[in-house]
Chains A and B, each alone.
Chain A
């Protein structure tokens, strides 16, 4: 038994390096990025208020990208997540006028429902998830525009008073703990990963593929609800475009974090954390370093390529898509 334990320990260290290169490299990229901006912004990036800003700006992306791991692990994408965030925020805003306490559950429920519909189209109508979610995105965007009447809608003042950072922090921590434990420490996460590697083999090993696909989309839906509600509190208004950039940002964050777009064995929560930090630091660092203006997007693109190439500085897999 001793021998077995020793073996496991040795193996752990070994496997940490051998099989986690894809997760270590992005961390390196993040460190380099922080160093780069800390220097170019003359230290402003590392001030407390700046770190608070990064937290304030980064949490929606962190929420959605953590949930996005669930979908991407199975080899799917949820193109509707950004539109769903805005839609949930609008619904929450409307419900808040009726009863502020119901706004939060309403947002979560709306998100979950949208996720459920996405997964049903995919699982039962067998429509490629890419198309199903793209269509859902169009539908939600239009619905959101109609609900907000094309303009932005302010939340009731009572609700705004809930925007204590501490409340948000607690909610966020609870969410992170739950979502990480479910993915890494329960059957659900391991089976989602298995589905991403081989649907066929997973089904034959007793994985309830349909149920899990549904679960993965409902999780992103709930995350959209949470992100929508918290963003509503943060900006104080619902708007037709709220959160719409989160779809692309989540995909980019996960890939930057070292996850394969095809999911499977590379899936990890740490990818979402690293990736969303890189994205947020990049967004805010550029302004702090005074690189604003026209070249802003150019620099973002170039830095993006650099970080991607650093995070892929591993034995290049042939998984090109």
Chain B
């Protein structure tokens, strides 16, 4: 009897879970339909659909002959704000009428990422879009997979530094390119900014080990500390209890006057602020973080927090657009260069509100027309790079005409 109840309960649970999921995809499908209708009203609707079905009969036609696409998207998780934002960025290209599938390859492990790419390819993705968060050493394998299965791949928040790997991907016709904010520079800028505010002795909190983005930021920050003749006192690595780690550090190294978290502001900066307060050094120790958090508005206002770099949602977005252009036979980046995108630097609560409203709100920061226009055949890579570099909260607001 109990077994029966449990089975029923579980079946209800799974149905609930599936239903929950399917309603979501229904919603998005409806959205897609709506956008289709919108584009229909702009051009001649029925024709578009027919030509879409015909697919790529002749390539040198007009916009309307674009192939339907499916982007497979591999992320490390959706629990942190950055992960949440980037998986949202994936859905922006849905506005162009394609399909998006997001796979969460958990645990920051290299094998999980390879398996994730395999599964995405198997599930029919035409393009795979990912960040080589487990380090660039994974790229050759994925490059090989993509070439074998004739699937385009693009990487965001990723820099290829090893020349051997660079050579390998460049020779792969299905490689589209990479987009990056310049993690090294961001780390460097953070330290520079804090140094201007009077920071001399630094503590860096690493949020992950073996994650390329994190390492680049740390390298940048360390370089800046070195160049400016400051002291890097201690590096805290992936603390389970951040507050305790920072407290211990501050007691042990009383000279420390700046704490730099190179990622996960919410996870590391807020507890650091608590720690600074609990050892009685509120106001004496500067803090800075990466990635936006819910509390940073209040913390910036109170002066507990000096600087946050983040909002790097569009690296993913531009990467996707780049891949689409290649898939449609007119690559915007034929030389597979790295597309640079600026970081958003946040100093006031209002900036954050605007970010939440305009960038990651209900409406994408770029309309479908803008997206198509940015990769249209009359644009060159330099134009595209220019559009990317213009990205800022103000830019989004101005394009909305508000």
Contact = CB atoms under 8 A, between A and B. Distances in A.
Interface of A: 41, 44, 47, 49-50, 53, 56-57, 60, 145, 148, 150-154, 157, 160, 231, 234-245, 283-284, 287-288, 290-299, 302-303, 305-306, 309, 313
Please name the 5 residue pairs, one residue from A and one from B, whose CB atoms are nearest each other, closest first.
Answer: A152-B135, A237-B137, A152-B137, A240-B210, A287-B119
B20 A243 contact: no
Contacts of B123: 41, 44, 287-288, 290
B140 A293 contact: no
B84 to A, nearest CB: 9
Contact of B209 (A240, A293, A297, A303): A240
Interface in B99-115: 101-104, 106-112, 114-115
Contact of A151 (B3, B6, B87, B210): B210
Nearest to A291: B21
A287 B116 contact: yes
B135 A245 contact: no
A7 B136 CA distance: 63
A238 B135 CA distance: 10
Contacts of B65: none
Contacts of A151: 135, 137, 210, 212, 215
Contacts of B24: 293, 295
Contacts of B124: 44
B14 A294 contact: no
B104 A296 contact: yes
Interface string B108-139: 11111011101110111000000000111110
A97 B102 CA distance: 37
Given A53-B119, A238-B137, A284-B115, 14 more contacts: A44-B122, A44-B124, A50-B122, A57-B119, A239-B137, A241-B134, A245-B112, A284-B118, A287-B101, A287-B116, A287-B119, A292-B102, A293-B102, A293-B104
Interface of B: 3, 6-7, 10-11, 13-14, 17-18, 20-21, 24-25, 78, 87, 101-104, 106-112, 114-116, 118-120, 122-124, 134-138, 140-141, 162, 164-165, 209-210, 212, 215
23 contacts: A44-B124, A53-B118, A53-B122, A152-B134, A152-B136, A235-B111, A237-B138, A237-B141, A239-B138, A239-B210, A241-B209, A241-B210, A242-B110, A245-B112, A284-B115, A291-B21, A293-B78, A293-B104, A299-B21, A306-B11, A306-B14, A309-B6, A309-B7
A145 B164 contact: no
Given A239-B134, A288-B119, A303 B14 contact: yes
A49 B137 contact: no
Contacts of A150: 209-210, 215
Contacts of A157: 164
A49 B120 CA distance: 12
Nearest to B124: A44
A305 B24 CA distance: 23
Nearest to A242: B110
A149 B89 CA distance: 32
Contact of A237 (B20, B78, B110, B164): B110
B26 to A, nearest CB: 12
A231 B110 CA distance: 10
Scoring A236, A299, A303 by chain B CB atoms within 10 A of each residue's CB, the highest score goes to A236
A291 B101 CA distance: 8
Contacts of B116: 287
B10 A302 contact: yes
Nearest to B112: A245
Nearest to B135: A152
A297 B104 contact: yes
Scoring B6, B11, B103 by chain A CB atoms within 10 A of each residue's CB, the highest score goes to B103
A306 B18 CA distance: 14
A52 to B, nearest CB: 9
A148 B136 CA distance: 13
B118 A292 contact: no
B110 A293 contact: no
Nearest to B148: A49
A145 B103 CA distance: 26
A295 B137 contact: no
A231 B124 CA distance: 25
Given A150-B215, A305-B13, A235 B141 contact: yes
A185 B238 CA distance: 47
A212 to B, nearest CB: 31
Contact of B87 (A237, A284, A293): A293
A240 B6 CA distance: 40
Contacts of B110: 152, 235, 237, 239, 241-242
A168 to B, nearest CB: 14
Contacts of A44: 122-124
A87 to B, nearest CB: 13
A244 B109 contact: yes
B14 A299 contact: yes
A152 B11 CA distance: 42
Given A302-B10, A313-B3, A239 B103 contact: no
B17 A298 contact: yes
B143 to A, nearest CB: 10
Nearest to A86: B109
Nearest to A56: B118
A243 B111 contact: yes
Contacts of B14: 299, 302-303, 306
B109 A236 contact: no
Nearest to B20: A295
B136 A241 contact: no
Contacts of A283: 115, 119
Given A152-B110, A235-B111, A309-B10, A160 B78 contact: no
Scoring B6, B25, B135 by chain A CB atoms within 10 A of each residue's CB, the highest score goes to B135
A254 B378 CA distance: 58
Contact of B103 (A231, A236, A292): A292
Contacts of A49: 122
B107 A244 contact: yes
Nearest to B132: A152
Contacts of A296: 103-104
B122 A284 contact: yes
A234 B119 contact: no
Contacts of B106: 245, 297
Given A151-B212, A284-B119, A284-B122, A236 B141 contact: yes
